[in-house]
């Protein structure tokens, strides 16, 4: 799944898609990151304690995602046709 996400995001930069040059909306400074920072968080420069603090929260969100997915799948069966 992550490979598909990266591939589909990067497809605009490969081959003839790159030459298309589509029109984009102008984006002002209001949609930029605050404080003059870049969009990329340099996680390799973070202290280990911040990574340790973030890991339990990330794990909890990951588990909640799977619970939500399992509940959604079980509530919506594939065959919704009335039996005749």
pLDDT band with cut points at 50, 70 and 90 for residue 20: confident
User: Is residue 5 in a domain?
Assistant: no
pLDDT of residue 80: 60
User: Is residue 63 in a domain?
Assistant: yes
Say how many domains are in the chain.
Answer: 1
SS3 65: helix
Give the integer Cα–Cα distance in Å for 65 and 68.
5
User: Is residue 12 in a domain?
Assistant: no
pTM attached to this predicted model: 0.43
> What are the backbone dihedrals phi and psi of residue 34, each rounded to the nearest 5 degrees, phi first?
-75, 150
pLDDT band with cut points at 50, 70 and 90 for residue 77: low
């Amino acid at each position: 799944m992550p490979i598909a996400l990266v591939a589909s995001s990067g497809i605009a930069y490969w081959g003839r898609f790159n030459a298309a040059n589509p029109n984009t909306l102008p984006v002002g400074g209001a949609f930029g990151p605050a404080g003059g920072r870049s969009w990329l968080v340099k996680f390799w420069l973070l202290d280990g304690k911040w990574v340790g603090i973030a890991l339990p929260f990330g794990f909890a969100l990951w588990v909640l995602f799977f619970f939500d997915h399992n509940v959604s799948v079980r509530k919506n069966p594939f065959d919704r046709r009335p039996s005749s």
